[in-house]
């Protein structure tokens, strides 16, 4: 398991692509640029496609030595023995998921713009907390209302790594990294890029400067 001390850098999240070969090719290009975590997230995939893609992404992550996280699907995480899971505010509670996963797996929790949710997640056994969205996203539809200062406030109070999400680009993520964000989660800025490797490297470079 990856320790919280090494959770720093680009947190790559997959898009809703049904084309598995395309997904694997873009992911491999990005991973070669340096990725802290890879999360498999495909909200519209049927169960058989989800299993196929997650299985192949896990094999790729094992080869590249990158921890593999699954969004929401606890059963899939356990079946594949993935490295961890990420849950949202409307999914199973952090405490329940931690009990199901055991102590060694990575457990991430979406906390939106709510510092109290992050406090509760830390107490319940989360490995990291994610705040956002900070900016409009091409993937997710949400109210863009997360205050930028929540990052510095969280870092002053919590002991967990802090991830920022929502419409991230290397340019708009920079002030959040300077404010103390440990990880930046990105989907479209990497996967829709003509060059996923360079796109991922641009995010990783933000942490070289801090």
CA–CA separation, 125 and 42 (whole Å): 25
Given the residues 50, 119, 140, 155, the one annotated as active site: 140
Catalytic residue among 98, 105, 110, 189: 110
Domain count, the chain: 1
pTM for this one? 0.94
Between CA 90 and CA 201 the distance in angstroms is 32
Q: Please choose, from the candidates 112, 127, 121, the residue with its C-alpha nearest in 3D space to the C-alpha of residue 36.
A: 127
Domain extent for 191:
4-208
| Residue 103 is a catalytic residue | no
Res. 100: pLDDT tops 60: yes
Whether 189 is catalytic is no
In the predicted model, what is the mean pLDDT of the chain?
93
Task: Return d(Cα 191, Cα 193) in angstroms, integer.
Answer: 5
Q: What is the pLDDT of residues 16-65, one digit of tens each?
A: 999 999 999 999 999 999 999 999 999 999 999 999 999 999 999 999 99
* Range 10-17 average pLDDT: 97
User: Which among 22, 33, 14 is positioned nearest to 204, based on CA atoms?
Assistant: 33
Task: Report the pLDDT value the prediction gives residue 180, as an integer from 0 to 100.
Answer: 96
Q: Return d(Cα 43, Cα 17) in angstroms, integer.
A: 10
Can 140 be counted among the known catalytic residues? Answer: yes
At 113, which CATH number?
Answer: 3.20.20.70
């Amino acid at each position: 398991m990856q320790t919280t001390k090494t959770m720093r850098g680009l947190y790559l999240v997959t898009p809703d692509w049904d084309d598995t070969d395309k997904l694997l090719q873009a992911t491999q290009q990005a991973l070669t640029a340096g990725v802290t975590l890879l999360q498999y997230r495909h909200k519209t995939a049927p169960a058989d496609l989800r299993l196929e893609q997650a299985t192949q992404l896990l094999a790729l992550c094992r080869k590249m030595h990158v921890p593999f996280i699954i969004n929401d699907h606890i059963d899939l995480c356990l079946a594949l023995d993935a490295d961890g899971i990420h849950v949202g505010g409307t999914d199973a509670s952090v405490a329940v998921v931690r009990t199901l996963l055991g102590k060694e797996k990575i457990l991430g929790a979406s906390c939106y713009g709510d510092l109290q949710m992050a406090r509760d997640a830390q107490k319940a056994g989360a490995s990291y907390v994610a705040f956002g969205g900070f900016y409009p996203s091409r993937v997710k539809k949400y109210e863009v209302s997360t205050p930028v200062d929540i990052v510095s406030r969280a870092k002053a109070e919590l002991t967990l790594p802090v991830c920022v999400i929502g419409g991230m680009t290397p340019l708009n993520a920079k002030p959040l990294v300077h404010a103390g964000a440990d990880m930046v989660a990105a989907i479209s800025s990497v996967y829709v890029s003509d060059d996923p490797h360079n796109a991922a490297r641009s995010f990783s470079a933000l942490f070289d400067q801090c």
